[in-house]
Amino acid sequence: MAESHPQVRAYVKNHGLGFKAPYRYGSETRKYMPDFIVWVDDGHGPDDLLNLVVEIKGYRGQDAVEKKLTVDTYWVLGVNQLGTYGRWAFAEFTEVYQIDSEFNRMIGDLTPSEYHK
């Protein structure tokens, strides 16, 4: 997926990085650790790459729904408004056989059309 896409500059599995986003599940505060962080050249130049938080999820219980909602709706919006940590987006992939096509479509949606010429 990421290693063969021409707009992906780098990616890392988040296992040992310690990157976590807080979220609430019921009355409990938890920390969400997504699977990957991908640097995407989405047409803003090499000094302004998009930090794409990627989650690959087979089974989506209520906990996974809350994680996605929190990160996608609140965390990404907040960190982007802060502006000191670059630009961020979130993607969750749930269908293993469609990850490549969904990833390619999503990157295309993030990138200005003139970049594809």
- pLDDT tens for each residue of 54-64: 988 776 778 78
Question: What is the residue-wise DSSP string for the chain?
Answer: --TT-TTEEEEEEGGGT---EEEEETTEEEEE--SEEEEE--SS-TTS-EEEEEEE-SS--HHHHHHHHIIIIIIHHHHHHH-SS-EEEEEEE--GGGHHHHHHHHHHHHS-GGGG-
Q: How far apart are CA 90 and CA 39, in angstroms?
A: 12
Q: How far apart are CA 37 and CA 57, in angstroms?
A: 15
| pLDDT score, position 97 | 65
| pLDDT score, position 115 | 43
State yes or no: pLDDT of 1 exceeds 70. no
| pLDDT score, position 68 | 86
| pLDDT score, position 92 | 86
| pLDDT score, position 114 | 44
**pTM score of the predicted model:** 0.81
| pLDDT score, position 36 | 92
Residue 100's pLDDT band (cuts 50, 70, 90): confident
- pLDDT tens for each residue of 18-56: 899 888 888 999 898 999 999 999 889 899 999 999 988
